[in-house]
Amino acid sequence: MRTFPDFAVKKARIEVIPMIDVMMFLLVFFVLISINVIPAGGLKVALPSLSTLEKNIVPKKIIITITKDSRLMLDDAPIILGDLELALLNKKNQLGSNFTVVINGDEAASLQDLVAVMEVLKNLQIPSMTISSKKRS
């Protein structure tokens, strides 16, 4: 009877070195894309020129903060509701029409305080107003 020699059983191995190389390449690629070393998309065109080119002007912000204990702050300076209209009128005259009012209200602040501030803004005919918030987690 013929006998076969015993072969050592080979165990399967997972080679991780090529996988590490691929991951490093992907990491470098995405880092370069994120810092715009490699320009992303679009056709290269020569833009027409103008003699009266205006820069994009970022509107200035006036920040009104309403705290939970009904205190008001105008650009980090404490103010009372009675003086808010005059202070906003002065700011409006300084900045012209290119500004927006941002209302930072504490979540526990009174709704009446918010309505009172919005009424002052309406009386001054301030066209741009926003209420800041944060994303729910």
Q: Which residue has the tokens 């912000």?
A: 61
pLDDT at 52: 67
Domain of 70? Answer: 60-131
Q: Is residue 39 part of a domain?
A: no
Listed in sequence order, the DSSP H helices in the chain are 17-34, 81-95, 111-123
pLDDT at 95: 83
Q: Is residue 69 part of a domain?
A: yes
Residue 69, exposed/middle/buried by CB under 10 A (0-12, 13-18, 19+)?
exposed
CATH number of the domain within which 76 lies: 3.30.420.270
Round to whole Å and give the CA distance between 91 and 84: 10
> Could you read off the pLDDT of 76-131 as tens digits, one per residue?
888 988 898 899 888 888 887 778 888 888 888 888 988 999 999 899 888 888 88
Q: Is residue 15 part of a domain?
A: no
Q: Is residue 104 part of a domain?
A: yes
Q: Is residue 24 part of a domain?
A: no
Residue pair 108/68 in contact by the 8 Å Cβ criterion: yes
Residues above pLDDT 90, as percent of the chain = 10
Q: Is residue 38 part of a domain?
A: no
